[in-house]
Amino acid sequence: MGTIFTLKTSSFDPKKPLPNKYVFNDSGCSGENISPALEWSGAPSETKSFAVTVFDPDAPTGHGWWHWTVVNIPANINRLEEGASNDHRLPSGVIEGKTDYGQIGYGGACPPTGDKAHRYVFTVYALKSEKMNINPKTSGTVLKESLDAESLAKASFTVEYSR
């Protein structure tokens, strides 16, 4: 049996509510909107690149809410530093997509006031190809279809947040 593909963060404890540092700073939310540190291990040996997504399946849109999409992470990279999206410190050639907020880059949690806690699913995909033909305007929904088709394996964790 091979190594298990895992994703973790040193920025917060996924078993506790998401800290304000990683919450959106607009739309009635007053977080710092910092992208968290992510680290993965155990990817299949044939992995050519990675992608990372953050998705809220509980958003009252009928199709969830995309908070972050990152593709074309080189296969020799296994982590993103805290604030990498905000400070433009992502590896060369990486493409960040547009969130459902309409902005490129990380967009933190911001569920409707008084709504039940929303789940934020952080996922890393190990991909068959080195580069995905995606541009920053590609929606999370379209990207997810491509990721599912290109994926060798994926790993995720979920954190909750409400306000």
Where are the domains positioned within the chain? Answer: 6-11+18-161
Beta bridge partners of 161: 118
pLDDT (0 to 100) of residue 80: 98
Mean pLDDT for back-to-back runs of 10 residues, the chain (163 residues): 86 97 95 98 98 97 95 97 94 94 96 95 98 90 94 98 94
pLDDT (0 to 100) of residue 89: 92
Q: Which residues contact 92 (CB under 8 A, 6 or more apart)?
A: none
Measured CA to CA, the distance from residue 60 to residue 131 in angstroms comes to 33
Q: Would you call 31 helix, strand, or coil by DSSP?
A: coil
pLDDT (0 to 100) of residue 93: 92
pLDDT (0 to 100) of residue 2: 60
113 and 28 Cβ atoms separated by less than 8 Å: yes
Give the domain 6-11+18-161 fold: Phosphatidylethanolamine-binding Protein (3.90.280)
